[in-house]
Structure 1
Amino acid sequence: MPLTTLNQNLHRDLKEAADLLKWATVDLMQAAVRTSGFGQHTDAKELLKIAANHQLIVDRLVGYADEVNAGRIKREAE
Structure 2
Amino acid sequence: MTLTKPSQDLKRYLQGIASDLKWSAVELMRIAERLSLARNEADAQAVLRMCTVLHADEDRLAGYADEVGAGIVRGKTE
* Corresponding residue of 1:45: 45
Cα separation, 2, equivalents of 1:35 and 1:2: 48
Q: What letter matches 2:36 in structure 1?
A: S
Counterpart amino acid of residue 29 in structure 2: M
Uncovered stretches (5+) of structure 1, i.e. residues with no partner: none
Q: TM-score with structure 1 length normalisation?
A: 0.92
Identity fraction in percent: 42
TM-score (norm 2): 0.92
Partner of 1:6: 6
| 3-state DSSP of counterpart to 1:39 | coil
Q: Unpaired segments of 5 or more residues in structure 2?
A: none
Aligned residue in 2 for 1:24: 24
Distance in 2, Cα, partners of 1:20 & 1:39: 29
Which SS does the other structure have where 1:31 is aligned?
A: helix
Following TM superposition, where does structure 1 have runs of at least 4 consecutive aligned residues deviating by more than 3 angstroms? none
Aligned residues: 74
| 1:48, distance to aligned residue in structure 2 (A) | 0.1
Report the CA distance between 1:73 and its aligned residue: 2.9
